[in-house]
Every structure is written in structure tokens, then in C-alpha cells.
Amino acid sequence: MSYLFVDSTYDLNLGLLDDRLHWLGIEKFKGQKASAIIQTESYKLLEKNNLKMRDLKGIITVNGPGFYTGLRLSEGLSDVFSFFGCKQYSFYSYEIPKWCGYETGLWFTKAYRGEYFIHQWGHDKVSQKLIAVKEIDTHIEDVKHFIHSEASLDQHSSSVLRDPIHTSDLILKHSFEIFTEVLNAEKKEPFYFRAPEDEFKVNP
């Protein structure tokens, strides 16, 4: 039995894991409109590996932090597959480093509207918040920095963060450790930077 992996936080990433939680394959669709391809490319990936929906044991999605539009794509696809008996699993990107053995760190991403989102952990303390772009220098501490991928940075933050580790790369290298944790945890609800009514509010 296999698992379908879906990440539409930024660019669309689709993958298949075997029952040992090793990658059968993963594909990245950089710069393409995810809503136009997510269903067809999911089926193509299954077909490429001689699998059908009934062969899937579950579907795993990255449920944030992120924007409403992107997260709803993967959540919607997960709901469709659940109708065919696939169990739903999900997790947050900022959980990945700790599962890979990093006991302290700061996970960062742009959140638009003049803000960044940071999640920091270590020494039994966890904090997360939206900060103004101009405040970034006061929040970047002397710890390892993590980001989802290059797509989560803008020009200013890329000049401030010091050699950030990509959680999208950690997923490739540590699939067993990461997805063992995911399968043993409760499904996470989508983590939006802001409530939908605030995300789509037009500034006067």
C-alpha cells in the first residue's frame, strides 16, 4: 500500500511513498498554476507507478502555515480521495526540523501584506507570530534558520537569513522519520496566516 503526498503551500509538489515510507517518486511543478493541474497530475503520478486510487492507504498533505487559496487545494484533493477510502493525514511545515533532530531553531516564511510569519522552538519553549517586515532584524536570533523553500522568501528576508535549511529538502532526505511522526499524529486543520475574511480584505 502506498501514500500520496501533496504540498500546495507554494508551488505544487506531488509524491508517492511506499509502505516503508520511502519515496517512489516526487514531482515539483514550479511556476505552474496548481489549481489547473493538481487533479490531472495526481492521477498521472499514480498511473506512472501502476497504481490506482484503491491502492492508496492514505493521502498526506502539508496543511500550512500558508495562504487560504493554496491550502484549500490540497485539502480539497484530500477530501476527494477520502471518499474512495483513503485515510487523511496532515502536518505543518515547521514540525519537520524537530522530527529531524533539530532541538532549537526558527522557521520563517513571507506572509505578504507587509508581514512575515515565524515559528521558534527550543528549551521547552515554543512561540509563533506574524511580524512586520521592518521588525525582522529584531527577531532573527542566533539559531538555525529553516524555510519551506526559496519560494517562501522575498528579497529583504533572503538577505537577512543565514543559510536557511529547506524543509522541502529535509522531506526528501528523512522521509521515514518525518512520515512516521505524521502517521502517528492527529490530522491537522489548515493553518492559515490569517482568517479568510482578513486575507481577502481590500485595504482602503
**Is domain 2-93+175-199 in CATH 3.20.20.140, yes or no?**
no
* Cβ neighbours for 94, distance < 8 A, ≥ 6 positions apart: 65, 107, 119, 121, 128, 146, 167
Instruction: Name the residue among 20, 25, 30 with its Cα closest to residue 4.
Output: 25
pLDDT at 204: 55
Task: Mark the ranges of the chain whose per-residue pLDDT is less than 70.
Answer: 196-204
Starting from the edge strand earliest in sequence, which strands make up the sheet with 105-112, in order?
A: 125-132, 115-122, 105-112, 145-147, 165-166
Which tens digit of pLDDT belongs to each residue from 80-121? Answer: 999 888 999 999 999 999 999 999 999 999 998 899 999 999
- Residue 57's alpha-carbon distances to 89, 113, 173, 179, in angstroms, are 11, 39, 22, 13
Query: Whole-prediction pTM value?
Result: 0.92
How many other C-beta atoms can be found within 10 angstroms of the C-beta atom of residue 86? 21
State percent of the chain over pLDDT 90.
71
pLDDT at 142: 79
| Residue ranges per structural domain of the chain | 2-93+175-199, 94-167
pLDDT at 112: 86
3-class state of residue 176 by DSSP: helix
